[in-house]
Amino acid sequence: MLHDVVILGAGAAGLICAIESAKRNKSVLLIEKSKKIGEKIRISGGGRCNFTNINTNIKKFISNNPKFALSALNQFTPEDFIKLVNSYKIKFHEKKLGQLFCDGSSQQIIDMLLNECQKYNVKIINETAASNITKTNNVYELIINNETKIKTRSLVVATGGLSIPKIGATDFGYQVAKQFDLKIIPTRPALVPLIFNDQILKLCRELTGVSIESLVSFGKVFFNEDLLFTHRGLSGPSILQISSYWENNKNILVNVNPNINYSNFLLTKKSSNSQQEIQNILSETIPKRLAIKICELLKLSGKIIEISNSKINELGNFLNSWSLKPIGTEGYKTAEVTCGGVDTNELSSKTMMSNKHQGLFFIGEVVDVTGHLGGYNFQWAWSSGYVAGHYT
């Protein structure tokens, strides 16, 4: 049987692409190798699915071609997806920074998408592996479950990246791209905790569970969000964000409280003849456990009035620009997304179709477009899937 559209991967991008293709009266077959549909949707946002961000703009995405995502994001906006969510009367709320979450469960988003698929007669088969993809006269042939041959005029690769292999992530999409001679931007884990060794790891373990809003920077990029100490290193939104930009063997800077110039703050305290202990003064502005450990790290103790100005300046500089050198990340096992992927120069930004092969599309995380934390990667999935669905 010849299908109009075959989509590999029933995640966010694949589902929305299937819906939009089927709306155009195309015969659509959606193939998912895992048992469950939309598993990454289900586990996202602590089970409540941070399904988009109302502040979506091109600056919230990383790519070798920073402007590539603009066309798709303009063709299908956060407001367009919100309209669909509202049509199903799914209640949601803005958590912070434009992030939208379901009031209930992420399963509501999955059910909504599956309902749309059913409405427009999308055929979905799960626990099904595809292989042996070939192309003859602009028709794609593939084998499913090592036995059945199927054909399609349009083949859409929506297989995702390498992040979270425990729910089925593989490099299959990149293999398909390479087979058809498309370039791949080297991949790496993104939105992932950073790990450390020796003294810093010991400190992190002693401070496990402590969270503080900090400004974390790498080069000219910075994020002012929560930082969390863990038994493996550092996590929290600010660290996850900077991890997408961090480069191996280089330092990040942590400003533990960017609202305070600590040298000025502490010298003012000293000039007032304060009899306070230094760690108690710091505890006014940062968690007490962190204040104690920083004082231990810098070998500072006693009343502030007894501490030299040079030592106070050293402490102030440390607090406002703590230089830390990660030894790596936790890797794909905990990374929320994958940086890199199919080179955007190989694709049409308007249609998501390969420039070399008529009818071959790549959408979602498999493409070299990576969003910041906070719903942007889902919006890229919706937008890129929608666009491909209109040109399959």
pLDDT tens figures, 237-258 = 999 999 999 999 999 999 999 9
The token pair at 386 is 């929608």
The predicted-structure confidence for 47-91, as pLDDT tens digits, reads as follows 999 999 999 999 999 999 999 999 999 999 999 999 999 999 999
Mean pLDDT of 375-386: 98
d(CA 225, CA 211): 10
* Rg, Å, the chain Cα set: 25
The predicted-structure confidence for 82-130, as pLDDT tens digits, reads as follows 999 999 999 999 998 999 999 999 999 999 999 999 999 999 999 999 9
d(CA 215, CA 254): 6
Could you tell me which residues come within 8 angstroms of residue 319 by beta carbon, excluding any fewer than 6 positions away? 255, 256, 257, 260, 262, 282, 286, 294
Count of CB atoms situated within 10 Å of the CB of 53: 23
d(CA 379, CA 254): 29
Domains of the chain, each with CATH number or no CATH? 2-188+339-389 (3.50.50.60), 194-329 (2.40.30.10)
The token pair at 308 is 């030299």
Residue 86 backbone class (left: φ over 0; alpha: ψ -120 to 50; beta: rest): alpha
Helix axes 262-271, 309-320, angle to 10 degrees: 150
Mean pLDDT of 260-264: 97
Mean pLDDT of 16-45: 97
- Least confident piece of the model among 191-195, 198-202, 320-324: 198-202
The predicted-structure confidence for 322-350, as pLDDT tens digits, reads as follows 999 999 999 999 999 999 999 999 999 99
Longest dimension (CA), the chain: 86
Element of type H or E holding 212: strand 211-218
229 pLDDT above the threshold of 90 = yes
Percent of the chain residues topping a pLDDT of 90:
98
Mean pLDDT of 157-186: 97
d(CA 214, CA 228): 10
Count of CB atoms situated within 10 Å of the CB of 167: 14
End-to-end CA distance of the chain: 17
274 pLDDT above the threshold of 90 = no
Are the C-beta atoms of 155 and 359 separated by less than 8 Å? yes
Mean pLDDT of 169-191: 98
315 pLDDT above the threshold of 90 = yes
**Tally of helices (H runs) and strands (E runs) in the chain:** 13, 21
Of 260, 240, 262, the closest CA to residue 329 belongs to: 240
Is the Cα dihedral 346, 350, 352, 356 positive or negative? negative
| 83 burial via Cβ count (<10 Å: 0-12, 13-18, 19+) | exposed
pLDDT at residue 1 in the model: 80
The token pair at 122 is 């999308």
Q: At 316, is the pLDDT very low, low, confident or very high (cuts 50, 70, 90)?
A: very high
Could you tell me which residues come within 8 angstroms of residue 65 by beta carbon, excluding any fewer than 6 positions away? 344, 345, 368
- Output phi, psi for 274, to 5 deg: -65, 135
Q: At 273, is the pLDDT very low, low, confident or very high (cuts 50, 70, 90)?
A: confident
DSSP state of 372: P
pLDDT at residue 381 in the model: 98
Mean pLDDT rounded to a whole number for the chain: 97
293 pLDDT above the threshold of 90 = yes
Q: At 142, is the pLDDT very low, low, confident or very high (cuts 50, 70, 90)?
A: very high
226 pLDDT above the threshold of 90 = yes
CA-CA distances (angstroms) from residue 293 to 56, 111, 210, 346, 353? 39, 48, 12, 51, 54
